[in-house]
Amino acid sequence: MVVETVGRALTKAPRVVIRGIGDLLGRRSAPVGSPPGALAIDDSLPPPRISVMARTAEGVIERETDRIDELRDAVGASQLSWIDVQGLGDRAALEGLAEAFGIHPLALADVVHTSQRPKVETYPDHDLLVVRVLALNEAGEMEVEQLSVVVGASYVITFQERYGNILDPVRRRFRAQLGPLEEHGGDFLAYAIVDTVVDGYFPLLEAFADHLEDLEEKVMARPRPAILTEVQKTKRTLIMLRRSVWPLREALNIMLRERSPRFTEAIHPYLRDTYDHCVQVHEVTESYREVASELTNTYMSMVANRTNDVMKVLTIMASVFIPLTFIAGVYGMNFEHMPELHERWGYPAVIGVMISVGLGMLLFFWKRGWLGDGRDDP
Amino acid sequence: MVVETVGRALTKAPRVVIRGIGDLLGRRSAPVGSPPGALAIDDSLPPPRISVMARTAEGVIERETDRIDELRDAVGASQLSWIDVQGLGDRAALEGLAEAFGIHPLALADVVHTSQRPKVETYPDHDLLVVRVLALNEAGEMEVEQLSVVVGASYVITFQERYGNILDPVRRRFRAQLGPLEEHGGDFLAYAIVDTVVDGYFPLLEAFADHLEDLEEKVMARPRPAILTEVQKTKRTLIMLRRSVWPLREALNIMLRERSPRFTEAIHPYLRDTYDHCVQVHEVTESYREVASELTNTYMSMVANRTNDVMKVLTIMASVFIPLTFIAGVYGMNFEHMPELHERWGYPAVIGVMISVGLGMLLFFWKRGWLGDGRDDP
Amino acid sequence: MVVETVGRALTKAPRVVIRGIGDLLGRRSAPVGSPPGALAIDDSLPPPRISVMARTAEGVIERETDRIDELRDAVGASQLSWIDVQGLGDRAALEGLAEAFGIHPLALADVVHTSQRPKVETYPDHDLLVVRVLALNEAGEMEVEQLSVVVGASYVITFQERYGNILDPVRRRFRAQLGPLEEHGGDFLAYAIVDTVVDGYFPLLEAFADHLEDLEEKVMARPRPAILTEVQKTKRTLIMLRRSVWPLREALNIMLRERSPRFTEAIHPYLRDTYDHCVQVHEVTESYREVASELTNTYMSMVANRTNDVMKVLTIMASVFIPLTFIAGVYGMNFEHMPELHERWGYPAVIGVMISVGLGMLLFFWKRGWLGDGRDDP
Amino acid sequence: MVVETVGRALTKAPRVVIRGIGDLLGRRSAPVGSPPGALAIDDSLPPPRISVMARTAEGVIERETDRIDELRDAVGASQLSWIDVQGLGDRAALEGLAEAFGIHPLALADVVHTSQRPKVETYPDHDLLVVRVLALNEAGEMEVEQLSVVVGASYVITFQERYGNILDPVRRRFRAQLGPLEEHGGDFLAYAIVDTVVDGYFPLLEAFADHLEDLEEKVMARPRPAILTEVQKTKRTLIMLRRSVWPLREALNIMLRERSPRFTEAIHPYLRDTYDHCVQVHEVTESYREVASELTNTYMSMVANRTNDVMKVLTIMASVFIPLTFIAGVYGMNFEHMPELHERWGYPAVIGVMISVGLGMLLFFWKRGWLGDGRDDP
Amino acid sequence: MVVETVGRALTKAPRVVIRGIGDLLGRRSAPVGSPPGALAIDDSLPPPRISVMARTAEGVIERETDRIDELRDAVGASQLSWIDVQGLGDRAALEGLAEAFGIHPLALADVVHTSQRPKVETYPDHDLLVVRVLALNEAGEMEVEQLSVVVGASYVITFQERYGNILDPVRRRFRAQLGPLEEHGGDFLAYAIVDTVVDGYFPLLEAFADHLEDLEEKVMARPRPAILTEVQKTKRTLIMLRRSVWPLREALNIMLRERSPRFTEAIHPYLRDTYDHCVQVHEVTESYREVASELTNTYMSMVANRTNDVMKVLTIMASVFIPLTFIAGVYGMNFEHMPELHERWGYPAVIGVMISVGLGMLLFFWKRGWLGDGRDDP
């Protein structure tokens, strides 16, 4: 299961994938000037794999099918059905599904063009929730996927870009009719799905915390340009994360204020709960961005510190030896009449003067506190 | 077609034109103190070339004309007409057109004085939408043009500064009566035009991403003042871009809240879609500005790093040789009584001492980690 | 008592505990994908210790018990009861209590999962207030604990993570029926509890002020990387503090606007008073964060200053002695025809020239103001 | 005319006057503790020179007078009168005028104490508009003046601090009854005046653009402290400009929302137009402030670059010659037993070694890319 | 009188007192956990000195008394009474006064605990205005004092921490029944008091302007750490100032929107006037904070400049003499076979070479523009 994999990836190699500047933009499938609602299928995505879970009087029925009429029958015969579509790589299947359930062309376009901002939109016959699934893969890299949820009168349809098991926990709870999913309708199912996605942001934040602590240690120990690059890329990944959370927070806020007919009064405290989690994720993300900004300052300070250390070594060496070399130079002059040269005590006296001058310089630097080793002493 | 040119320009030379500070202001045509509504025609613009496309019971009719009465007849005989005016260089033609269709003097002034902020204004007989067309030309440079859209009861008039084919995709769809343009009125036509303009911002953002990644690489590889200048000019171009998008977002938001009589309920989800795209462009623009700001910091860090590297080389050279030179200086003194000078082992011993001191210094620097090559090692 | 301990800790060792980046996130107990309202008990917390204080016609009765029916009886027989639960480490006891008093499952989950943002939530039968208790422990370190207050019709239940006496002042006032607690209901008791928690933030702020002043002195006296690290960690602790205060301010504001049925008109000025204190704490926290940011700048400036001082010493030493060494070198050349070498006045003349050159250089530096000792002189 | 002078000043010497920190505050005439409405006349201002232009059935009548009753008669006999007061240096005249037209004491105080924020205030009998006239004088320096406009039922009174012709364009249009001034009332006259003032901000912005581009070039070419000072003073002048524009934008917004009885429906699109111009000026001002902030960063980068260049020269010189000097020193030692000294090939061999070492060092630096001239090469 | 003293202090020694980080918090008298409304008297404050001024039919009566019943009689017999309490050091007197005039316990607590944020609170029987008096004392230092104004039906009570004459101008106007104080009630008196306090902020701002200009000059002339410290402390004092003004602006805004029964319609334009002054003070304060922030940047730039100058001197000295010393070293070598040594022209030739090399180096530096004196030349 993905969630457990994330856990394992974290304990093994807490690392967040680093992204280039272009990734801040995301994919956009429809070419400029296409009519609205024109679908530009991304061929790299797998063909849809459709499954349905339906709560009927006899219990929960599960089936995997790609026949639209079968899906429609299943929905018709149940109290509440959950159609899960994984893979968006087939235009005909998606358009068939949309037609069968009366999904608005713009809603379908938002489902297919997978770099939407998270949002909630109310159409006459259904609501559309778009959220972004962020997860660490087995290599510990952050992966972004769009999850679209269409909430109709007696059905919920989820669309994922690729095959995946991110929704397995919800599936288990729906199968067992656990918690509020037992008695309530599609609004509670949609809530459970969105809540599971938002819960998945927290292990990510933990990975970021580890990554930033790791970077901080490296900056303090040995500031190198490569670390600076990594700090900035981490900052960009955090911007990505914020852009996944902030609009969702807004969207949930709108849902709480202007409730759609398909969302009952009873869901209110639950949505508020998910809203609170979004706010928390957003706040922590902002704090981490501040930390990443600080790291750039720390980097600069560390480099300045090291330059200062290098300077001190140079200054001490040069200041101690330059005067001594001068003295040696004086007595290396070839004047005929330099009385000191001919005295017995000349050489030892000059050596003595040199030692005094050298020690004097060292004393001067010691008083200035320059003779520490330039490292940090507590 | 422009759009394809943009694509080609991008694959060839992804480059965004760099602008001076003065361009942040833009042109302003009317002299200080002119009466409101006074038209100051920009003579550098070409004379208007007017074409009309009209949806009639018999199909879509297209005509190119410069006679106002012909235009009025075409509009009168059609369900929906689209008058496209390219070039704003002739006062009489524009005033004639404005009079024939009852365009408010202030609206006409906004059309003619082409550095307006994007906006939506509702006049009694028509609405005025002002948007800014941003496109990369064949040389890969960003060009800004104002596109004004007057939406009347049964007609839409578009005004462009120069001859151009930016609206060709909409023209094709209108000609073929594709999508929602088939049955709906001027509001959908206006929407299709604005949506096409906003869609055109995305290739621009991609060019910016490439440009910033290019600059980042250059800063990391070899920080030079010229790159810093380019970073700052890119930042200014991004400010330009933001100033084209942000007010449009506001304007669309106002349109969604306070709907004008000429905009039907059915256009609501479509405008919301364009609004979403504006928000996305704006968010990405802000992210890019942050990236550009970071680059200035990186530049400073890289220069500091290099100064540190230079310092290390100097310190190592000086610290190794200055003591050696001192020793040589000592034995170059001309004292008569320097016993070492007369010993057989004197010279080799001193050479030995020198080698020891030199190696000692190198060992000291190696322990400090200064003997790396000053470049980055992972 | 804790409060006094805080006072003592402050006078002895005004120090604020420093936190890592991961602490900005906080604990989250429920695993990803759990159903809402699922309780994930934190086993490290102690088992609940429950006490009840009830105001009856005969006076205030106090009892410690773990039998739910006893609690229910006590509440039933009193005008106003305060049930205090310390320790959240036993699922059965908490669920029993929640069932007995009709606490909403989501409210109970918020009580148990102790890293909620401060908030006020109105449920049909009760209100939930979540605040964060921040206190300095005996070692002078900041400790964070969640305090949840459930306000029902005739009872108030407080939940604390661990055993503690932070609420003792309120307990004394309730016992003595002091001030507005004498006549008013649960709203005033809840207010008194929250107000006590907010009052507890002020000694913390004083400790921060001392800590920052201490850091500032250290930065000015001797800038070392360790101090920079401490400054940044202090900044993070301030972010923690802000995240405890800001949402509480919002929550109180909401309480003032949309009053729940359990909060009477008379509580209005009291809540406004607590709101004012939150605003004040928040403003001071923001000011301290600005001060901490300034300290990073000061650090950089101090390092730059010191590098400048080091440079001056090197420059003075090198500039004075390098020309002298050159002169000595000239007269150390072995040319046969150097007339000066053979003159009696040669040696003293050269020494004179050397002294002149040396003094000239010193005069030059003195005029530039470089001969100060590099320290600060007023 | 001022406007043309501005144009000339710009083409000749595009320069914006630089202001000290104290100018950010502005003058305040009334001493602390004076009663509200107490007038503190600024004696340095010239005595009022009053003229009236009145639109009557017979045409526009113009007269210059200082007799209050004559003014009142002129206003009484006309459809719309414009009284222009230039110079605020005489208390009696101003109080007489205020009494004759029922101007509120606080409004008169705002007129006289000329460092008000731009604002719009509605009094029972009239409205007061306060705007700040910013203009470049003949020397190209920015001058600030307060223009107050009192809009009554059938009259408009303008107050200027000094004699000036900033309103001449409006005067000409009123005289000729051009544009909307022909038929409309005092609201349109007031609008024309404010619009002329706002139009006057644009040449100023152009001057700022030139000035900033000039500063940027200087910073890139040769960073000196004096340029930094100029950058910061420019920033302050931009703050001044923003403080003239931002409140006006707010005030116009208030006028658009809460219309006073003296402002008709027809003025709405016109005010919206001026509002748009204010927004544009404000946005450009903010962009320029960002540019000025960037310049400080550029300055720092340029200085760091130059220090780096200086370092490189020093390092190259020292690193090449220090080892050579050491070698020379070795063979300058006076040991008796140095076999090389007595060989024929000794001297040329050592010279050869020296040349090899020197070239080796240069090769090392050339490989590091340090042998460029330290300037920028594209 | 204080106001004049301020003026004198400014002309003599424009200096603003510098505060530590702890002062940002302010005093808090009540211990943690005290019941709301509990009074913690600050013993360091002087005992109350109470005076009353009453407007009666016979004129204005003034009396100094400490008997509560006398005060009550005076108020009962007058149209409007102003009770001025200076000194807050006596619990009994304050509680007696509060009881006599029905002051709410929380209001009294706000009066006594003197580090409230400025605010306006409406209680059933009276309003409470809290403002902060900022003044320069004779030594030119900023002093902060809380002034609380209780506005009842026919009386106004002012509470000051210490004896002082800040309200003397209002007292004179009340005594003389000048301006709107003649006919209006307690609202106008309260307004006059608050307005006087706000007017007192302006001389303070002037002092700040002088101080910042002084600091700027010092930074440019000779950047020393002590100046940096002073800049940061000034910034903190500005934060203090902002925290005195911003909440007052908010409070006045609330007063303008939700008028209390004791504030008449006629006071509206007057309050708006004071509100405008607050906005102006706030804006200027923010500008000054920006200026102070810039000064830190300037400091850094100046230090970087100076390091650059020092580097240049070192580089010039070293680069000129190091090659010369090398040449001297070559001819100081003791090889037997160095033909140049034995030539007559050897010595002068070498001296010539040395002069050429030295001049060549100087020419090289002159071309680089390094031979300026390192100071600024225009």
DSSP string, D259-309: --TTS-GGGHHHHHHHHHHHHHHHHHHHHHHHHHHHHHHHHHHHHHHHHHH
Q: What percent of chain E has pLDDT over 70?
A: 87
For residue D74, count other CB atoms closer than 10 A to its CB. 20
> In the prediction, which pLDDT does B149 show?
94
What is the pLDDT averaged over residues D362-372?
Answer: 82
Q: Who among C206, C294, C319 is closest to E25 (CB)? A: C206
> In the prediction, which pLDDT does A52 show?
92
Provide the token pair at D191: 């609008």
> In the prediction, which pLDDT does C151 show?
93
Q: Are strands D49-56 and B59-64 parallel, antiparallel or unpaired?
A: unpaired
With both helix axes pointing from N to C terminus, report the angle between E201-221 and E2-12 in degrees, rounded to the nearest 10. Answer: 10
Closest CA to E122 of E258, E234, E221: E258
> In the prediction, which pLDDT does E32 show?
66
> In the prediction, which pLDDT does B121 show?
87
Spatial separation of the C-alpha atoms in residues A59 and A76, rounded to whole Å:
15
Q: Measure in Å the smallest separation between the Cα of E5 and chain D Cα atoms.
A: 12
Provide the token pair at C50: 């429950």
B156-204 pLDDT per residue, tens: 999 998 888 888 888 888 888 776 666 778 888 999 999 999 988 888 8
Q: Which amino acid is at A270?
A: Y
For residue A9, count other CB atoms closer than 10 A to its CB. 20
* D18 interaction partners in chain E (CB closer than 8 Å): none
**pLDDT band of C19, cuts 50, 70, 90:** low
> In the prediction, which pLDDT does E149 show?
95
What is the pLDDT averaged over residues D333-358?
Answer: 84
* D270 interaction partners in chain B (CB closer than 8 Å): 36, 106
What is the pLDDT averaged over residues E339-365?
Answer: 85
Q: Who among D121, D235, D243 is closest to E272 (CB)? A: D121
Which chains touch E (3+ CB pairs under 8 A)? C, D
CB contact under 8 A, E106 and C269: yes
Spatial separation of the C-alpha atoms in residues A259 and A267, rounded to whole Å:
10
Q: What percent of chain C has pLDDT over 70?
A: 87
Provide the token pair at E80: 């409007």
> CB of C303 within 8 A of CB of A301?
yes
What is residue E331's three-state secondary structure? coil
Chains A, C: CB pairs < 8 Å: 184
Q: For residue A273, count CB atoms less than 10 angstroms from its CB and return exposed for 0-12, middle for 13-18, buried for 19 or more.
A: buried
Provide the token pair at E109: 């607590």
> In the prediction, which pLDDT does E375 show?
43
> In the prediction, which pLDDT does B331 show?
84
Q: Which amino acid is at E309?
A: D
Token pair 């030139």 in the structure block, residue: D210
> In the prediction, which pLDDT does B339 show?
81
With both helix axes pointing from N to C terminus, report the angle between A268-330 and C225-257 in degrees, rounded to the nearest 10. Answer: 160
Spatial separation of the C-alpha atoms in residues E33 and C165, rounded to whole Å:
12
Q: Measure in Å the smallest separation between the Cα of B92 and chain A Cα atoms.
A: 33
Q: Where does residue A293 fall: left (phi above 0), alpha (psi -120 to 50 degrees), or beta otherwise?
A: alpha
Write down the mean pLDDT value for chain C. Answer: 82
Provide the token pair at E17: 């007192």
**pLDDT band of A376, cuts 50, 70, 90:** very low
> In the prediction, which pLDDT does D83 show?
93
Q: Who among E220, E318, E329 is closest to D328 (CB)? A: E329
> CB of B235 within 8 A of CB of B289?
yes
Ranked by mean pLDDT, the top range of A146-160, A246-260, C265-279, E327-341 is A146-160
> In the prediction, which pLDDT does D28 show?
52
Spatial separation of the C-alpha atoms in residues D302 and D218, rounded to whole Å:
11
**pLDDT band of B128, cuts 50, 70, 90:** very high
Question: What's the DSSP call for residue A56?
Answer: E
> CB of B317 within 8 A of CB of D322?
yes
For residue A12, count other CB atoms closer than 10 A to its CB. 11
Spatial separation of the C-alpha atoms in residues E127 and E124, rounded to whole Å:
8
**pLDDT band of C270, cuts 50, 70, 90:** confident
> CB of C142 within 8 A of CB of C204?
yes
Write down the mean pLDDT value for chain D. Answer: 82
Q: Measure in Å the smallest separation between the Cα of B291 and chain A Cα atoms.
A: 8
**pLDDT band of C50, cuts 50, 70, 90:** very high
Q: Is the pLDDT of residue B282 over 70?
A: yes
What is the pLDDT averaged over residues C257-266?
Answer: 81
Provide the token pair at A145: 């996927």
Helices marked H in chain E — which ranges?
2-12, 68-76, 91-101, 105-112, 168-176, 186-199, 201-221, 225-257, 268-330, 346-367
Residues paired with A59 in a beta bridge: A56
> In the prediction, which pLDDT does B10 show?
34
Which chains touch D (3+ CB pairs under 8 A)? B, E
What is residue E315's three-state secondary structure? helix
Q: Who among D32, D116, D123 is closest to E200 (CB)? A: D32
Residues paired with A116 in a beta bridge: none
**pLDDT band of D151, cuts 50, 70, 90:** very high
Q: Is the pLDDT of residue E17 over 60?
A: no
CB contact under 8 A, A334 and C329: no
B303-361 pLDDT per residue, tens: 888 888 888 888 888 888 888 888 888 888 888 777 878 888 888 888 888 899 889 98
Provide the token pair at B141: 């440079």
> In the prediction, which pLDDT does B122 show?
87
Q: Is the pLDDT of residue E328 over 80?
A: yes
Nearest CA in chain D to E335: D341
* Rounded (5°) CA angle D315-D319-D321: 125
Provide the token pair at E215: 């600091």
Q: Is the pLDDT of residue D45 over 80?
A: yes
Spatial separation of the C-alpha atoms in residues D36 and A11, rounded to whole Å:
71
> In the prediction, which pLDDT does D130 show?
92
Q: Are strands D49-56 and D59-64 parallel, antiparallel or unpaired?
A: antiparallel
Which chains touch C (3+ CB pairs under 8 A)? A, E
CB contact under 8 A, B169 and A24: no
Q: How many CA atoms lie within 13 A of A51 on its CB side?
A: 14
What is the pLDDT averaged over residues C267-283?
Answer: 88
> CB of D301 within 8 A of CB of B228?
yes
What is the pLDDT averaged over residues B68-94?
Answer: 88
> CB of C129 within 8 A of CB of C74?
no
Q: Which of D24, D39, D293, D337 to mutate to test the interface with E (most CBs of E within 10 A)?
A: D24
Spatial separation of the C-alpha atoms in residues A230 and A224, rounded to whole Å:
10
CB contact under 8 A, C34 and A169: yes
Spatial separation of the C-alpha atoms in residues E325 and B206, rounded to whole Å:
59
**pLDDT band of D9, cuts 50, 70, 90:** very low
B296 or B136: which leads in pLDDT: B296
Q: Report which secondary-structure segment, H or E, holds A241.
A: helix A225-257
Q: Who among E196, E329, E338 is closest to D347 (CB)? A: E338
DSSP string, E222-261: ---HHHHHHHHHHHHHHHHHHHHHHHHHHHHHHHHHS--T
CB contact under 8 A, A347 and B337: yes
From residue A125, give the alpha-carbon distance in Å to each of A99, A152, A154: 12, 7, 11
By residue count, chain B amounts to 378
Q: Measure in Å the smallest separation between the Cα of E254 and chain D Cα atoms.
A: 17
Q: Is the pLDDT of residue A185 over 60?
A: yes
What is the pLDDT averaged over residues A95-111?
Answer: 89
> CB of E232 within 8 A of CB of E312?
no
Q: Who among C199, C209, C311 is closest to E25 (CB)? A: C209
| Virtual torsion, Cα C190, C195, C196, C197, nearest 10 deg | 90
Spatial separation of the C-alpha atoms in residues B90 and A370, rounded to whole Å:
77
D160-213 pLDDT per residue, tens: 988 888 888 888 888 887 766 667 788 889 999 999 999 888 888 888 888 888
* E229 interaction partners in chain C (CB closer than 8 Å): 220, 298
B203-258 pLDDT per residue, tens: 888 888 888 888 888 888 888 888 888 888 888 888 888 888 889 998 888 888 87
CB contact under 8 A, E196 and D341: no
3-state secondary structure E118-129: CEEEECCCCEEE
**pLDDT band of A128, cuts 50, 70, 90:** very high
Q: Who among B3, B298, B377 is closest to A33 (CB)? A: B3
> In the prediction, which pLDDT does D147 show?
93
What number of helices (H) and strands (E) belong to chain D? 10, 7
Q: Measure in Å the smallest separation between the Cα of E168 and chain C Cα atoms.
A: 31
E163-214 pLDDT per residue, tens: 888 888 888 888 887 766 667 788 889 999 999 999 888 888 888 888 888 8
Closest CA to A10 of A204, A230, A285: A204
* A326 interaction partners in chain C (CB closer than 8 Å): 321, 324-325, 328
> CB of C153 within 8 A of CB of C97?
no
A107-117 pLDDT per residue, tens: 998 898 877 88
C141-157 pLDDT per residue, tens: 778 889 999 999 889 99
> In the prediction, which pLDDT does C14 show?
39
D15 or A202: which leads in pLDDT: A202
What percent of the residues of chain C are helix, what percent strand, and what percent coil, each to the nearest 5?
55, 15, 30
> CB of E173 within 8 A of CB of E165?
no
Weakest mean pLDDT among A42-56, C202-216, D170-184: D170-184
Provide the token pair at E340: 């140049």
Q: Is the pLDDT of residue B373 over 70?
A: no
The sign one gets for the Cα dihedral E178, E184, E185, E189 is: negative
B313-339 residues labelled b (16+ CB within 10 A) or e (exposed) = bbbbbbbbbbbbbbbbbbbbbbbeebe
What is residue A185's three-state secondary structure? coil
pTM: 0.82
**pLDDT band of B148, cuts 50, 70, 90:** very high
* C38 interaction partners in chain A (CB closer than 8 Å): 179
CB contact under 8 A, A37 and B272: no
Nearest CA in chain A to C235: A291
